[in-house]
Chain A
Amino acid sequence: MLKPLSRDRWNYQAAAHLFNRAGFGGTPAEIQKLVQLGPERAVAHFVDYEAIPDNTAEPSWAEPEPDRAGKFMAAQRASEEERRKLLRERQQQDRQRTIELRHWWLKRMATGPRPLQEKLTLFWHGHFATSIEKVREAYLMWQQNDIFRRMAMGNWLDMLIEVGKDPAMLVWLDQAQSRKEHPNENFAREVMELFALGEGHYTEKDISEGARALTGWSYDRARQRFVERSFAHDRGDKTIFGKTGNFDGEEFLKLVVDQPHAPVFITGKIWTFFAGEPPSREVNEALASEFRSAGNTFKPVIKTMFAAEEFYAPNLIRNQVKSPVQWLVGSVRMLERELPPPMVCFALTRNLGQDLFAPPNVKGWDGGLSWITTNNLLARYNEAAALVQGDMSGAGGAMLVNNPKGNAMIDRMLQNAPVGRVNPDKLITQAEREDKERLLASLERRLIQDKLKPKQQATLRDFLDSKSDLSDEALRNAIRLVMSTPEYQVC
């Protein structure tokens, strides 16, 4: 069991750290509230989210498509030309819905009542890294997202079974096409390599036998749901991790989570995502043993993690590169402004290297320092102007489609999008406007949650000194400059 952080180390920076990691950051007033709650209640505020009502409406199209089977039949009777037209319309609709879906989720993160639930959903999305690029249907991506949200702190085996039977996953890792005559190993392999055990904890034989156990799990395209096809299931004996039996898919997944390394693997992943660095062996062991004794459920171990002294180690605080999603959502929260329109959000995060619902591969986003390249960093600085000043001139250029003409059109559209901008009166008091030292300190506290370097402070002072009066525009420029620093990119 890890020791909780002592009350005397609980301060603005520790509370800001919890807010950044268990959620997407907060305003100085929100952070101050956490400070007053004390560490234990502050952690509970995030983790005991089931008690908080969440009335967010689902996207209007988030239900199985009515009479799909009929439409499929009609399409089969249609001419080649009509079929192509239908396909184009369907693709267009799914592209549009995916953009809506991204916005719907970003909005939950930015303003929803349960920030940790959304952060965990983001973790699971990166963990099970399924992409619309192959799945092709926004409805299926929403359905998977809903699983992650519902089961975010639940039981590990339940989650794996639900994900294994999830239509998006069935399509993504080809399980839908697996038959006893041709077992497809993709899902069985990734369950072991990426989802639950890690390399070195299974053999190639375990994979091929696991794939046999999973045969029969498939996807009913017409009803848009999981189906178990008994004719496709291999009923023969399989030997997995040295045990032999006529295992089916659920039994296979149970064998996986019962492997001795499984709790170490998944709790290590969770710690790494939230803390920003892999846990020490001692911390990992402590988390794994708590996870085991809680019957492989996540909630207790997540609570322990956020309360632990180790989670507030100096080398973890302000040492995590913000993911593009964290950067966008966190900025919107700190700047107390609206989330930009859907197309703009899509372009902003894509520019920075993170498309929700389209991770680069089944390993998910590498994260950490790999978020940062010279051009991604410049893009962050330019996108700061979009958020603060509504100025998209440096923030376009995202390759949204693989077609130069289309991109030029989208760029023009983005330039004219109603992005909105920051209202300095919300962030800066009249007294701060009149005293540059107080103004600088206030910007640091809100945006950096720490001090800038003396030279940077001097630069900002020089900048403010060059203004005869601190107009809203001058203040927005100053905010954008603070966001255009290496310091702003970490949390």
Chain B
Amino acid sequence: MKPEITLRTRREFLRSTVLGSALSWTVPSFLANTFSVLQADAADKATQAVTGKDGRILVVLQMAGGNDGLNTVVPYTNDYYLKARPRLGLAKKDVLPICDDIGLTDNLAGFKELHDSGHLSVIQGVGYPNPNRSHFRSTEIWQTACDADRIESSGWLGKYFDNTCSGCDPTVAVNIGRQMPQAFAAKNPKGVSLDSPQNYRFVSGERGKEGGMMEDSYKKLNEPDMENSGGTVEALSGPVKHSGSALDFLERTALDAQLSSDQIRGIANRTENHATYPASQLGNSLKLVAKLIGGGLPTRIFYVSQGGYDTHTNQANTHQRLLKDLGDATKAFIDDIKAQGNLSRVLVMTFSEFGRRVAENASGGTDHGAAAPMFIAGEKVKAGLLGKYPSLAPADLYQGDLKYTVDFRSVYATVLERWLQTKSAPILGKSFPQLEFV
């Protein structure tokens, strides 16, 4: 018996079982025939099938560390602001006005252009009741969308997938980075995480027939035991019974890795960018997201992050450099997506775990605070300022922090209902008033 033949036969068996019919294993046919399409009947009707050609996409952009909202969306005429920030305060000459008393810091020129062309909405004073000043706890609150006095393990995006997407392709959620964000944590976790497509594969290290043999063996070692378990598509991509064992989780991840690897690398190799991005980590991440969207990866949610906002000391330069990177990278991304003709399908939402204290500290920085702005970018947004800028009057502050005027879960609810077109209450635990940004 020639082992090569056995291998091929077994793999074809697996593939045909996975896909429900004997399709050839080429990338285009795989793309055109994702699990969710084949499984459309089984899938929850609340989810639009994701084919990579239509369907809306949400890009979540995390500004990690707690962004100083006051020096981002600047109340540049406000006396309280200038008094609380003798060193860090931005004057009229440092801002790009949006209205008579509020402007974007001039390093956000990219955002200003997006705003002026009707592609950027600024939601002011976003936060939540009983704000927590711990990075971890507050990040957790934003990631899980729970009340500040409750601990929740599933993330809000994870709950979205649990509620709407029982039979989706693993690439329905893609995180650019090494660690999965808690927002994706779910009863049935979805999504892949990668930082560069070139490394996203099994490298056999051998050429020709030897290499093929290694790769075949790797695939078989990492496939579920279909012959013995009588597995079906449902067993692979449908609701998975989690015994909670680490090995179960690893087996599932190994299969997701195998299936998504060919797909993502194929797309990244044959797709090009149509804009110039800053040479930064965020720039590279958004560049890759644009390629994956352009190449038709069947993804509903992308997640990217930019770190460094925890500016306790000598904030001025660091913070403005980060914002310049943010504005420029986002602008390039929107231009790129527009050039692809996909802008009507894409929405970008930024968030940070908290804003910072109104008063600057003695080290030329700012300490952990509360409410801060969020940005929403896309074609179908209502451009301009939304919500109300929180009062800076000392009597209106809570322990030196801005009081929120918009609950972040109102923003999530709006995104879920109006953009992702699903009911938000089962995901967020209750109903939140929606906003008019999309």
Given contacts A375-B195, A466-B3, contact A489 B250 (CB under 8 A): yes
Q: How far is the CB of A355 from the nearest CB of chain B, in Å? A: 10
With contacts A363-B136, A373-B192, A463-B3 known, what are 5 further pairs, Cβ within 8 A? A319-B247, A320-B246, A376-B193, A378-B257, A393-B205
B192-235 contact mask (Cβ, 8 Å, vs A): 1 or 0: 11111011111101100010011001101111010110000000
Given contacts A199-B137, A362-B135, contact A486 B247 (CB under 8 A): yes
Question: Which residues of A have CB within 8 Å of B214?
Answer: 477, 481
Q: Which of these binds chain A: B45-53, B276-284, B291-299, B421-429? A: B276-284
Give A174 to B202 CA distance when docked, in angstroms.
Answer: 43
Q: What chain B residues lie within 8 Å of A184 (beta carbons)? A: 367
Contacting residues, chain B, for A370 (C-beta < 8 A): 179-180
- Cα-based distance from A319 to B248 in the complex (angstroms): 10
A369 and B193 form a contact (CB under 8 A): no
| Residue in A321, A374, A463 whose beta carbon sits within 8 Å of that of B257 in the complex | A374
Choose from A182, A320, A454, A490 the contact partner of B228 (Cβ within 8 Å): A454
21 contacts between A and B (CB under 8 A): A174-B313, A177-B362, A177-B363, A182-B361, A189-B134, A193-B137, A366-B179, A370-B179, A374-B261, A375-B193, A375-B200, A382-B203, A404-B284, A453-B225, A455-B225, A455-B228, A459-B220, A460-B221, A477-B210, A484-B218, A486-B251
- Determine the residue in chain A with the shortest Cβ distance to B224: A455
Q: How far is the CB of B85 from chain A (nearest CB, A)?
A: 15
Binary per-residue interface labels of chain B (1-24) against chain A in the complex, 1 for a CB within 8 Å, 0 otherwise: 001101100000000000000000
Chain B residues within an 8 Å CB radius of A189: 133-134
Q: Given A360-B179, A362-B135, A374-B170, A490–B218 Cβ distance below 8 Å?
A: no
Known: A374-B192, A462-B217, A481-B217. A369 touches B205 (CB 8 A): no
* Chain B residue at smallest Cβ distance from A382: B203
Closest Cβ–Cβ distance, residue A248 to chain B (whole Å) = 22
A403 touches B (CB below 8 Å):
yes
CA distance A366 to B225 in the complex (A): 31
Taking Cβ atoms with an 8 Å cutoff, the residues of A that contact B are 174, 177, 179, 181-182, 184, 186, 189, 193-194, 199, 276, 315, 318-321, 351, 353, 360-363, 366, 368-370, 372-379, 381-382, 385, 389, 391, 393-394, 396-397, 399, 402-404, 453-456, 459-460, 462-463, 465-466, 477, 480-481, 484-487, 489-490
Query: B178 near A: Cβ within 8 Å?
Result: yes
A337 to B162, CA, bound (A): 45
Using A353-B179, A373-B193 as known contacts, say yes or no to A394 and B199 having CB atoms under 8 A apart.
Answer: yes
- Whether A490 contacts B247 by the Cβ 8 Å rule is yes
| Contact assessment for A486 and B203 in the assembled complex, using a CB-CB cutoff below 8 Å | no
Given contacts A319-B247, A385-B203, contact A372 B253 (CB under 8 A): yes
A101 to B260, CA, bound (A): 37
Contacts A466-B3, A484-B222 known; A378 to B201 CB distance under 8 Å?
yes
Q: Are A319 and B245 in contact (CB under 8 A)?
A: yes
- Minimum Cβ distance to chain A for residue B88 (Å): 15
A374 & B193 in contact (Cβ 8 Å cutoff): yes
Chain B residues lying within 8 Å of A177, measured Cβ to Cβ, are 313, 362-363
Is the C-beta of B187 less than 8 angstroms from some C-beta in chain A? Answer: no
Within 8 Å of chain A (Cβ to Cβ): is B256? yes
Do residues A378 and B199 form an inter-chain contact, with CB atoms below 8 A?
yes
